Amino acid sequence: LWVIHTRRFEKATASLPSLPGLPLLGNAMLFIGNTEKILQNLQNIADLAFKHKGTVKIWLGPKLYVALANPDDVQVVLDNCLDKDVVYRFLRPWLGYGLFVAPLELWKSHRKVMRSVFNNKVVEDYLAVFAAQADVLVEKLDVMVGKGDFDVLKFITACTLDIVFETAMGERMDVQEKPDTPYLRARQTVMTILNMRFFKVWLQPDFLFNLTSYAKEHDESIKLTHKFTDEVVKKKRMEYEKNKHNNNTDSKMKAVLDLLFGREIEFTDEQLREHIDSITIAGNDTTALTIAYTLMLLGMNKDAQEKVIEEQRLIFGDSKRGATKEDIPQMMYLERVIKESMRLYTVVPIIARNVDKDVYLPGSGITLPAGTGTVVGSFAMHRSPAVWGPDAEKFDPDRFLPERSVDRHRAAFVPFSFGPRNCIGRNYGMLILKSIMSRIIRSYKIDADEVGPLKMELLLFPIRGHQIRITRRDD
């Protein structure tokens, strides 16, 4: 059966280029080694794809993946293949059936409910939280003024954790004040082990993984993080049950969790935990990394930094107040800078989907057979000269001016993915990015050298960290 499948897949994709591979293993060796090397291999795959309509095939053992970096095919895949690839199964023990890894049928009904919770009006209510946490962030950063290079990511991550926890669960964590708690340590442990499993093939089969000492650490850490969220859910359930009949009209901010009670689907406590954990995982490092890259890029491109601060002065004068919903749409240049940062440093560099039905790809002229996998190479596509021109590697925020974007393919820029299963938190994320960037840039002048070599550890990281230098703007 296996041989028949393999032949069928080979035939369907005969016109696609492939890299030399080994018998049985195929190209699996490309994903073994350190994370910097893997990223370099991915770059080589992308280079090969660019020479062939942006598509290439990769055999990982018996499984065929078609990797895409051309917008026509990316659009079709992200519109039609809504089931996640099997590689996401490692997240299952942690995130269960939360939106991020939910199987297709469950996902459809749950996504509908979540969509109404994530609407703009709700998310705008969170701006006051963003502002308060941004004030703490600036206070913490102040210690680094004049100290030379430092890695800004850990400061930003503590701030985004505070924001995402408070708005998702309605609980203050004060990570910026207390960065070391058993919960946070457990969360970090799970992420480190998951990252190893994604890239070290020998840790992938459960029976081998269970022989290692990581398995115990993995299970215990997951248990601890679940217990933490379970307790919050229990408390919120009691509050909800107590208040549900007295037409509660208080103006207190409603966290995402508060809004998930009493919906058209009555979620169980376990489902609530899975959704909230998925949101706090998906929404934290992504926003923190994007802010950190944007700060570095502004530190390297002083003219852009000047333009950002001019725009901020027009909106805020000399005030350090938090951004309101009226201020946000006025930050048009900052928005272009953030988009350009997400283009060059796409923090979710690849998206993998399961092909559950045959899908015709118009760009490369082949039909993806059901049973294969597909990988959208967002990072590669965002740097493709075919899409962005010969200066694709150059930082140029004005690419995102409306007049320069009208002719661009709808699926050429996909930092939040694309189609029905795109990022549900994209507006929420954009609000966080703009509010925090606005507050930092009004307080500090930023300096940075090059970003340097990158590595992929689920998300995209610079090997040397996000090194910046800051001085006070008021001085």
Site size toward ligand HEM, by CB under 6 A: 22
Which one, of 287, 288, 308, lies nearest residue 395 by Cα? 308
Q: Is 416 in the site for ligand HEM (CB under 6 A)?
A: yes
Which of 209, 345 has the CB closer to ligand HEM?
A: 345
What is the per-residue binding string for ligand HEM in 84-103, x denoting contact by CB under 6 A? ---------------xx---
Which of 221, 417 has the CB closer to ligand HEM?
A: 417
Q: How many CB atoms lie within 10 A of CB 281?
A: 20
Among 64, 66, 156, 351, binds ligand HEM (CB under 6 A): 351
Candidate segments 7-15, 145-153, 415-423, 437-445, binder of ligand HEM by CB under 6 A: 415-423
CB of 181 to ligand HEM, least distance (A): 21
Q: Is 429 in the site for ligand HEM (CB under 6 A)?
A: yes
The CA R_g of the chain, rounded to the nearest whole Å, is 23
Token look-up 């059901």 returns 370
Which of 12, 347 has the CB closer to ligand HEM?
A: 347
Token look-up 């910026």 returns 176
Q: Is 425 in the site for ligand HEM (CB under 6 A)?
A: yes
CB of 96 to ligand HEM, least distance (A): 13
CB of 177 to ligand HEM, least distance (A): 22
Among 349, 415, 419, 462, binds ligand HEM (CB under 6 A): 415
Cα angle 153, 133, 248 (rounded to 5 degrees) comes to 135
Q: Where are the alpha helices (DSSP H) in 268-331?
A: 269-282, 285-300, 302-316
Rounded to an integer, what distance in angstroms lies between the CA atom of residue 152 and that of residue 465?
8
Which of 257, 348 has the CB closer to ligand HEM?
A: 348
CB of 395 to ligand HEM, least distance (A): 18
Rounded to an integer, what distance in angstroms lies between the CA atom of residue 60 and that of residue 275?
31
Q: Is 54 in the site for ligand HEM (CB under 6 A)?
A: no
Residue ranges with strand state E in 191-283: none
Q: Output the six-digit token pair for 316.
A: 């805020």
- Confirm whether residue 81 is marked as ligand binding: no
Alpha-carbon dihedral sign for residues 158, 159, 164, 166? positive
Q: Is 423 in the site for ligand HEM (CB under 6 A)?
A: yes
Judged by CB under 6 A, the chain residues 265 through 294 that form the site for ligand HEM are: 278-279, 282-283, 286-287, 290
Which of 279, 359 has the CB closer to ligand HEM?
A: 279
Residues 6+ apart with CB under 8 A from 258: 170, 236, 239, 240
Produce one character per residue of 254-263: b if its CB has 16 or more CB atoms within 10 Å, e if not. bbbbbbbbee
Q: Output the six-digit token pair for 56.
A: 């290439």
Question: At 460, is the secondary structure helix, strand, or coil?
Answer: strand
CB of 81 to ligand HEM, least distance (A): 10
Binding residues for heme: 423
- Contacts with ligand HEM by CB under 6 A lie at 99-100, 111, 278-279, 282-283, 286-287, 290, 347-348, 351, 415-417, 421, 423-425, 428-429
Binding residues: 423
